[in-house]
Amino acid sequence: MKLVDTGNHFAAWGARLARVEVVSAYPITPQTQVIEEISRFIDEGEMDCEYIPVESEHSAMAAMIGSAAMGVRSFSATSSHGLAYMHELLHWAAGIRLPMVMVNVNRAMGPGWNIWCDHQDALAARDTGWIQLYCASHQEVLDTVIQAYRISEDFKVILPVMVCYDAIFISHSYMQVEVPDQENVDRFLPPFRSLWKLDLDYPLTHGSVIYPDDYEEVRFSMFQGLDNARGAIRRAAEEYRDIIGNYHGDMVETYRIDDADCALVAMGSMASECKMAVDMLRDKGYRCGLVRVRSYRPFPIAELRELLSPMRAVMVLDRGVSFGLEGALFSEVKAAIYGHGDAIVYNLITGLGGRDVRYDLVAERTEAALEGKMAPESNWPSLRLTEHHRVSKRGLEEYWKREGVL
């Protein structure tokens, strides 16, 4: 069935087709439509599911942990401040080894209420033990939510999965998507499975005090679970292609990379912009290609090594920043390919708070890098001081004068 709808509504379709049985979520722009659509599905009898209208995101994740621990497939959706608010429980959900899927609509962090896209929210949740998958299209959102349950419930993984997609660009825009048949989704995704649950016939206690002598192995086991997720992500992508037909790459997706000596690396919808930049650079005679990181955690170390070692230059685009260092993806790409090949790695930090990432700007900067006119450190190519900044600054300067600050 073909449908034209928003990215948010297609995320809801993913949960519906995955036969999710408990949803607990709290509204936040730009995620709200996900849960509105799910409650509509439930009200209209199209989805057989308990919906818990919790009073905060912290509680949304607590309820998810409760329902998944009972052995029931669970789903949530959030964004930016909501994700930050539930941070403590992101650690808990992964640490206690529960399979579940949550959508995060990537949105900028306040202050300055900004409901537009960047990746800062999910980057700050990077080290919680969650698998993080980034989508670049509406179709990929729907397909990835379903795939995420396969990955999460894989016995070698048993960890929660966060499906990330960009605010507004994907969440609120309308696109046509092929909605797969329930029958095929059922063939792809067996009923919920996990490695433990709260069982009346076999009482176990989960998550009590644990001493230094025992703790490290628990964390290593999580580390291995994420490691094993690499295989699970590949298998899910391939089997999904075989059964349902769509394919968006596995750990990464590539574009015109085969004969390239220069690669762009990006995540999310920005990668589509990068495809145009690649075409433009190719037209100018540069042999450019694109690697879109689809799985940010686990990080595609082997793929990047293989793909990037022949390059002479790599341009990493970050839609977020690790303050006091550089773009986080930039650091990680450098670390992954260290000692493999001799590409010089460049960094653009751009598109924060929903600012447009223009393909011509990306192309121009990449060209500058290739021509040796740019330093391989963090560049903020879209910065400019506008009249708005000036009005604000003048007001503040008046205040400083009055207070004798300057």
Partner 1 sequence: MPKRKKKDEEEEIGFVTTLSVPGEGSVGLTGSWRIFIPVLDEGKCNKCLLCWIYCPEACITKDIRIDYDYCKGCGICAEECPSKAIVMEKEEKKE
Partner 2 sequence: MRLRDFPEEELFLQGSAACQGCPGSAALRVAFKALGRETILCVIASCTSVLQSPFPVSALNLPTLNMAFATGGATASGLTAAADRLVARGTFKEKPTILVWAGDGGTYDIGIQALSGAAERNTDFIYVCYNNEAYSNTGTQRSGATPYAAWTSNTTRGKDEWRKDVAQIMVAHGVPYVATASLAYPTDMYRKFAKAKEIKGTRYIEIQAPCPPGWKFPSAHTIKVARMAVQSGMWMLYEHEGGKTTYTAGTQRIIQGQSKLLPVEEYLRAQGRFRHLFSPEKDEERIGEIQGRINHIFETLQFTHKMKEHIMDIELAPPR
Tokens of 73: 């497939």
**Segment interacting with partner 2, rule: CB under 8 A, options 67-75, 147-155, 250-258, 291-299:** 67-75
By CB under 8 A, tell whether 264 contacts partner 1: no
Q: Which of 198, 335, 375, 383 binds partner 2 (CB under 8 A)?
A: 198
By CB under 8 A, tell whether 21 contacts partner 2: yes
Site for partner 1 in 197-216 (CB under 8 A): 203-208, 210
By CB under 8 A, tell whether 97 contacts partner 1: yes
By CB under 8 A, tell whether 95 contacts partner 1: yes
| Best CA proximity match to 76, nearest among 88, 87, 62 | 62
The least CB distance from residue 8 to partner 1, in Å, is 33
> In this complex, which beta carbon is closest to partner 2, that of residue 26 or of residue 240?
26
By CB under 8 A, tell whether 297 contacts partner 1: no
The least CB distance from residue 89 to partner 1, in Å, is 15
Chain length of the chain: 406
Q: Judge contact between 286 and 263, C-beta under 8 A.
A: no
Among partner 2, partner 1, none, partner that 221 touches (CB below 5 to 8 angstroms by kind): partner 1
Q: Which of 56, 176, 309, 392 binds partner 2 (CB under 8 A)?
A: 56
- Adjacent-strand bridge partners of 5: 175
The least CB distance from residue 2 to partner 1, in Å, is 41
By CB under 8 A, tell whether 202 contacts partner 2: yes
> In this complex, which beta carbon is closest to partner 2, that of residue 100 or of residue 141?
100
Burial of 44 (0-12, 13-18, 19+ CB in 10 A): exposed
| Amino acid symbol at 101 | V
Rounded to whole angstroms, the Cα distance separating 142 from 146 reads 7
Among partner 1, partner 2, none, partner that 74 touches (CB below 5 to 8 angstroms by kind): partner 2
DSSP string of 116-170, one letter each residue? S--SHHHHTTGGGS-EEEE--SHHHHHHHHHHHHHHHT-TTT---EEEEEETTTT
> In this complex, which beta carbon is closest to partner 1, that of residue 150 or of residue 287?
150
Site for partner 1 in 13-42 (CB under 8 A): none
Q: Which of 32, 59, 254, 382 binds partner 2 (CB under 8 A)?
A: 59
The least CB distance from residue 20 to partner 1, in Å, is 24
- Whole-number Cα distances in Å, 370 to 68, 182, 330: 50, 49, 17
| Best CA proximity match to 165, nearest among 267, 56, 283 | 267
The owner of tokens 């036969």 is 19
